[in-house]
Amino acid sequence: MSVIGQSTSPDLAGDSSPEHVVDPVVRRSGVDRIFRGVASGSGILTFILMGLIGGFLLLKGYDALKVAGWGFLTDSEWAPDQGGKFGIAAILPFTVQIAVVALFIAVPVALSTALFITEYAPRKLRRVLTAMIDLLAAVPSLIYGLWGLFYLQPRLITLSKWMADHMGWVPFFHVDDQYGTSLGIFPSSTFVSGVIVSLMVIPICTAVMREVFSQAPPGEREGAMALGGTRWGVVRDVILPFGRGGIIGGSMLGLGRALGETIAVTLIISPAFTAKWSILDQGSNSIAALIALKFSESSTFGISALMAAGLALFIITLLVNAAASTVVSKSRSGASTEI
Amino acid sequence: MTSTDTTSSNTTTMSSDISLLDPGHKAAGLTATNVACWFGTKKVLEGVNLDMAPGQVTALIGPSGCGKSTFLRTLNRMHELVPSATLAGEILIDGVDIYRGAIPVTDVRRRIGMVFQKPNPFPAMTVAENVLAGLKLSGLKTTRSERDDLIESCLSKAGLWNEVKNRLGDPGRALSGGQQQRLCIARSLAVSPQVLLMDEPCSALDPTSTRRIEQTISEISETITVVIVTHNMQQAQRVSHRCAFFLAAENEPGRIIEEGPTKDIFTNPRDSRTNDYVNGRFG
Ligand SMILES: Nc1ncnc2c1ncn2[C@@H]1O[C@H](COP(=O)(O)OP(=O)(O)OP(=O)(O)O)[C@@H](O)[C@H]1O
Ligand SMILES: [Mg+2]
């Protein structure tokens, strides 16, 4: 009995024992082999590059890490050049806080914008909006930073004060100030920089989500319409389940950018080295901003410490992306009904 | 057939209790008057008049590209989803215009269901959820026992119940092509349409599945008006009461050449082109 072609799952193949299972032989043509070589070469290159970056950061940061020991994770202050302690116990939480604020705003906005563009906008408007989003995604973050600094920051202060006054019972919005909630304590906060970072994250998230939504299988879409589905019904039962991977992927891309955003944060914050829950008042920080601010004035050892901080950022980003890709691989974006 | 008694009567009979959601449900008639269709500036259908009487099965036949699918899609307002598609003429369901009348478009599509040529179940939903998808999509609330009854009765009517009753929790994509198509039929029946449009529903199916679906059509046609596009002449003769022959001359829009009782179209056609087509001489 020949079992070629039905051998992929031996336990389902009934009476055929595993010895009968055939390993399909694939003969590749010359062109195919070359293409395969090039493609897998580039794939491997990505791994090598990541290894090189991680290795480089580890090597450069090693001196500082040796001195700081576990204190690198538990110390808040940053004084490597003064012979003092240094660690990421404050700047890492600040970094994450800014990124979370940014995503908290960016993801809902991006999601609804992408849905509006693909599902609700008239055809002409759709084309215009798509082009504009792509354009916004290409604007350098410095521009957002400058605009945020001069236009948005003064306006966000009032909002910050309102939130502190009326929503102070939320731990994040609680402001502890001896002078009460005077406007002067709000400009350089986690919140303001998070909002400005969200502006540069929104176009990227939107572009990714829009692209995925627009690829939702037309057959399923029409199937849902033909059952009397409302637009929202189609979005909920066809577009969102299909686009789940894209939503997560787009958000993670945004998170990566938010975690690493340098210029906008550097322009806005006044550096702080004590972790806190509240996001509205003066003082924040981020690893990227720290590196940008300190790099030119640091000794060799100071730079080693900055490299170690960079390594921490690198690892966080990798972890976030690994977590995201496991979620994405469990969803079905890109797969449609096959006959 | 008023099944207002929704307490679990638990009957597995194949009788018509699709009236679950709409006790006054009965087959509706469709009338197309002088329908013309365009894609952009290209006119693909012209002067189509067709009466699809309640409770009858109407077959649309004709060579490829003559506009059968296009016509079918005008009947439940799917045509307008195609960018640049336009149409003229009038389509009435029980005398009410579906384009200009007071019926919301979602209701039009729920009352006039559609089964597509390529099976398109919702792959992420389970088999059971697929059957109930139409209710969810149009926001209809049902009780647990109503849902269970509906799942069983619709899957039975589509001839799929015995194959899937033990795997109602499997995703829709795990079924074979023929099973998927029957799942799509079950899904359409669950919203108790008054008309069911079928676009070559059996073209991807094996003879057994095909026969099952034909049987389903005969069973549902008492309560649901059926309009079916088919390339299979035997199928048209087996399932339909009336038959319309579409033809598009080269570079001209398609029109109905001849329409009448199926028996007449196949045994005694008035037009020689109909005669040629049904006897397999062109197309
Ligand atoms: N989306 C579209 N855009 C432009 N032209 C279209 C579109 N859909 C169909 N047509 C054209 O309309 C005409 C009728 O197509 P239709 O699909 O209705 O034919 P059909 O009778 O269903 O053919 P078949 O038996 O092959 O399914 C064809 O000439 C086709 O090229
Ligand atoms: Mg067709």
- Which of A123, A225, A338 is closest, CB to CB, to B83? A123
Residues of B in contact with A339 (CB under 8 A): 118-119, 177, 180, 204
Q: Do B136 and A338 touch (CB under 8 A)?
A: no
Nearest Cα of chain B lies from the Cα of A226 at a distance, in angstroms, of: 5
**Residues contacting A87, CB < 8 A, separation 6+:** A68, A71, A72, A73, A74, A75, A76, A77, A78
Interchain pair A332, B122: CB under 8 A:
no
Q: Give the atom of ligand 1 at the shortest distance from the alpha carbon of B68.
A: 21
User: How far apart, in whole angstroms, are the C-alpha atoms of residue A104 and residue A102?
Assistant: 5
**Residue A62 in this model has a pLDDT that exceeds 60:** yes
For residue range A181-197, what is the model confidence (pLDDT) as tens digits? 677 788 889 999 999 99
**Closest ligand 1 atom, residue B67 Cα:** 18
pLDDT of residue A168: 82
Chain A: residue whose CA lies nearest to B138: A229
Residue B74 Cβ contacting ligand 1 at under 6 Å: no
**CA nearest to A333 within chain B:** B124
A337 vs B113: CB contact, 8 Å cut-off? no
State pLDDT tens for residues A293-307.
998 888 899 999 999
In this prediction, residue A80 has a pLDDT band, given cuts at 50, 70 and 90, of: confident
Question: Which distant-in-sequence residues (6+ apart) come within 8 Å of A144 by Cβ?
Answer: A196, A199, A200, A264
The answer to whether the CB atoms of B137 and A227 lie below 8 A apart is yes
pLDDT band, very low/low/confident/very high, at A2 (cuts 50, 70, 90): very low
Chains A and B: how many Cβ contacts under 8 Å?
93
Q: Which of B130, B137, B170, B175 to mutate to test the interface with A (most CBs of A within 10 A)?
A: B137
CA dist B18 to B57, B75, B130, B189, Å? 18, 22, 16, 7
Question: In the β-sheet with B112-115, what is the strand arrangement from edge to edge?
Answer: B96-97, B85-93, B30-39, B42-52, B254-261, B242-248, B57-61, B225-229, B195-199, B112-115
B65 lines ligand 1 (CB under 6 A): yes
Q: Would you state the structure tokens that stand for residue A78, as one six-digit string?
A: 């940053």
| Mean pLDDT calculated for residue range A64-81 | 90
Closest by CA position to A64, among listed A284, A312, A314: A312
Contacts of A222 in chain B (CB under 8 A): 78, 81, 116, 120
pLDDT tier, A115 (very low <50, low <70, confident <90, very high otherwise): very high
Instruction: Tell which residue, A96, A89, A97, A94, has the closest CA to residue A73.
Output: A89
Q: Report the separation in Å between the CA atom of A129 and the middle of ligand 2, taken as the mean of its atom positions.
A: 34
pLDDT tens track for A144-154: 999 999 999 99
CA separation for the pair B210, B220 (Å, rounded): 15
- pLDDT tens per residue across span A11-56: 444 455 666 777 777 777 788 888 888 989 988 999 999 999 999 9
Mean pLDDT of chain A: 86
pLDDT at A321: 84
Residues of B in contact with A242 (CB under 8 A): 124
Name which residue sits closest to atom 1 of ligand 1, judged by CA. B82
Lowest mean pLDDT among A200-209, A274-283, A284-293, B12-21: B12-21
- Segments of chain B scoring below 50 in pLDDT: 1-23
Residue B67's nearest CA partner among B245, B243, B201 is: B245
CATH for A92-287?
1.10.3720.10
Task: Pick the closest to residue A278 from A174, A180, A183 (CA basis).
Answer: A174
Its pTM stands at 0.82
Given pLDDT bands bounded at 50, 70 and 90, which one contains residue A287?
Answer: very high
Q: In the structure, what pLDDT confidence band is assigned to residue A335 with cuts at 50, 70 and 90?
A: very low
* Residue A177 binned pLDDT confidence (cut-offs 50, 70, 90): low
> How many whole angstroms from B165 Cα to the centroid of ligand 2?
32
Contacts of B108 in chain A (CB under 8 A): 228
The domain locations on chain A are 92-287
Q: Which of A222, A223, A228 sits opposite B138 (nearest CB)?
A: A228
Cβ atoms of residues A163 and A173 within 8 Å? yes
Q: Residue B121: which of A228, A229, A337 has the nearest Cβ? A: A337
Sort out which chain B residues have CB atoms less than 8 A from A123's CB and list them.
Answer: 83
Q: How far is the C-alpha of A148 from the C-alpha of B89, rounded, in Å?
A: 56
Task: Decide if A337 and B173 are in contact by the 8 Å CB cutoff.
Answer: yes
Query: pLDDT at residue A93 above 90?
Result: yes
Name residues 90-109 of chain B within 8 A of A (Cβ): 106-109
| Domains, chain B | 24-278 (3.40.50.300)
Residue A339 to residue B119: CA distance in whole angstroms: 8
B120·A217 Cβ contact <8 A? yes
Find the Cα–Cα–Cα–Cα dihedral B164, B167, B170, B172, rounded to 10°. Answer: 10
